[in-house]
Amino acid sequence: MPVGSVDSIGGKLDGVDFDVFCMKDPNYVMMTTSTNMRMGEHKNRDGVEAFQYPEVVQNHYQYRHHIDDHNSERHRPIILEVTWATKLWETRFFAYLPASTEQIPGYQPNTPLDPVSLLANVPETAFTTKFENSGRNPKHDRDMLLQEIKNIDPTARRTIRSLAGAVGIPVMTIWRMKQSKKLKVHTMALKPKLNDDRRLNRLFHCIAMIDKNTINSVAEMTFKSMYNEIHIDEKWFFLVRDGLRCIVTQDEPPPKAISVSHKSHITKVMFLSALARPRFNHTTRQEFDGLIGIYPVGEIDMYVRASHGHQPGDLKWCNVNMDRDLYRDMLFKFVLPDVKKKMPIDNNIILQQDGAKAHLPDDDPLFAAKVTELFGDPTAVKLYTQPAQSPDLNVNDLGFFNSLQSRYYQTAPKDALELIEMVEETYKNYPAKKLNRIWLTLDTAECDESGHQPKRRQRLHNPSHEKKSSGTTKPIATIVGCNCRGKHVSTRHLG
C-alpha cells in the first residue's frame, strides 16, 4: 500500500531525512528514520497515528550505505510501501521501498502525494506490538542478572548505584531493569521484637476477636464488629519536621530555612486520642463518625518577660509530663464524658489502651467509681490493656496517626497554640469512611496473626488500596473474614 514518497534513496521522505539501512534484495532496500525524530501526536500507541507527523530529524550516520546499482533512480520520485514496521522508543520505523517506480502498479509520475493521508491508510497489522522483543539483544542477560542479584546481601543493594557496583554492571542497566518492572524498591520498616510469651498473648487476643457465632458455621468465620470498643493512645505532634519539601519555580529563590538550636528544641505537643468505629446504615449514610475526641496534654500559661517573639502577658503552651495521675484526670474530665455524650451505646464499652507505665491497670478502683458515677453501672466501661509490643492492634498506631499527620502537615501553624487548633480541626474533619478502612485493616492484622506462621510478621492488607466504587449507594464493608488456618486454632480454644 503506498504511504509516501521519497526524493532520492538515502535522502528525504517528505522532507524528513532517512538513511538506507541495508539491502534485502535487488528490488527493495530497507529504510529507517533517525532515532532522534520527535513525533507530533501519539493518539494510538499500537496504531499508525503515532507516525503521522514527524517534526524534527537529525542525521543518523550508522549503517549508511550508498546504492550504486540504482543511480538512475536516485533523482526520481518513488513510492514507499510498508511491508513490515515496528516502534522502537516511539521514534523509529522500518519499511521496504521499491527501488524502481515502474514496479508500483498504477503509479503516475510527478503526482503530488499527501503523506498525512497516505500514512493514515497503513494497516495496523503492519506494526508489531512486541516492543520489548524489538531492537538489539541486551549485552547482559536479564535472567542471569536477576539470579545474581538475588544472591547479593540486601544491605549491599540499598541504592541503584550500590547494586550496580556489587553486580559489576553500569548504573543505567539497573535503572532500565527497574523501569521495566523487573526490579522494585522495598522499604524495610522496624518491627517490635516479640518473644514466645508475647507472641502467644497476641494470638489469644486475636482469637478472642473472632465472632463465636461463626466458628462452627459452614461459611467463613468473621471477626466481631467491635462497635463497643474505643482505642486510646498518645502521640507527639511537631510544629515542623526536618526535610520538608516544597515546589518552587525556576526563577524563584528557595524559602528561608527554619533554624533551631537543636532538633530536641522543636516545638511539639502531645495529644491523647480516643477513637471508636464509625457506623453506617445500609445506604452508607453516616450515623456515627467514630471520633470521640483528641486532647492536648499540657496547660496554657502567660509570658512574664518580653522577648523578640512575644510580649509580657502573651499566652503560651506548656507541655506536662504524662503520669498516672494526669492520665486518670484526663480520662475522668475529657474521655469518659465524651464517651457518654457521643457513643451510640452506654453499656459494655471497652476502653483499649497500651501497656505504658502511666496507664491505669484494668481493675483500677477509682476508674470503676467514676464509671459508676457517670453511667450508673461499674461494668458499663471497662479498661483493657492490649498485648505488649503490639502497636498494630491499636487503630491509632496502626494508621490513624500517620494519616492525621499527613493531613496536618498541609497546614502551616506558627506556634504551639496554632498547632493545637489545627490538629483539632484536622481531627474534626477526618472522613469516617477512611477511619472505617483503618478498622478493617485492624481486622486483617488480627486475621494474619490468628493464622500466622511463627516468628514472621505478615504484610498487612490495606483495604484503602483497593479500587473504590464511584457510586454512593454501595454498602460499606464492615467485617472481614478469617482465614482457614485461624479457624482450626480458634475452634480448639473457643469451641
Report d(CA 166, CA 152) in Å as an integer.
8
Distance CA 352, CA 335 (A): 12
pLDDT in tens, the chain (495 residues): 333 333 333 334 444 443 333 323 333 333 333 333 333 333 333 333 333 323 322 222 222 233 333 333 333 333 333 333 333 333 333 333 333 444 444 445 555 444 444 444 444 544 445 555 666 788 888 899 999 999 999 989 999 999 999 999 999 999 999 998 899 998 887 888 888 999 899 989 988 888 888 877 777 788 888 999 999 999 999 988 888 888 888 889 988 888 888 888 899 999 999 999 999 887 667 789 999 999 999 999 999 999 887 889 899 999 999 999 999 999 999 999 999 999 998 889 999 999 999 999 999 999 999 999 999 999 999 999 999 999 999 999 999 999 998 888 888 888 899 999 999 999 999 999 999 999 988 988 877 665 544 334 444 555 544 445 444 445 566 666 665 444 444 444 444
Asked if 448 and 481 sit in the same domain, the reply is yes
Q: Give pLDDT, residue 494.
A: 43
| Domain co-membership, 275 together with 336 | yes
- Amino acid at the residue 128: T
Residue 197's contacts (CB-CB under 8 Å, 6 or more residues apart) are none
Q: What residues make up the domain containing 119?
A: 2-128
User: Do 392 and 357 share a structural domain?
Assistant: yes
Of the CA atoms within 13 Å of residue 274, those in its CB half-sphere come to: 22
> Quick check: is 302 in a domain?
no
Residue 426: inside a domain = yes
Query: Which pLDDT score is estimated for 480?
Result: 62
Domain boundary among 128, 154, 171: 128
Asked if 122 and 91 sit in the same domain, the reply is yes
Same domain, 272 and 173: no
One domain, residues 155 and 23: no
Q: Is 339 found in the same domain as 205?
A: yes
Is residue 124 domain-shared with residue 146, that is, in the same domain? Answer: no
Domain-embedded: residue 253: no
In this structure, is residue 304 part of a structural domain? no
Residue 163, domain member (yes or no): yes
What pLDDT was estimated at residue 449?
64
Supply the CATH number for residue 409's domain.
3.30.420.10
Cell of 134: 524489538
| Residue 133 domain-assigned (yes or no) | no
Q: At what angle do helices 196-208 and 432-450 cross, to 10 degrees?
A: 120
Q: Does residue 124 sit in the same domain as residue 222?
A: no
**Structural domains counted in the chain:** 3
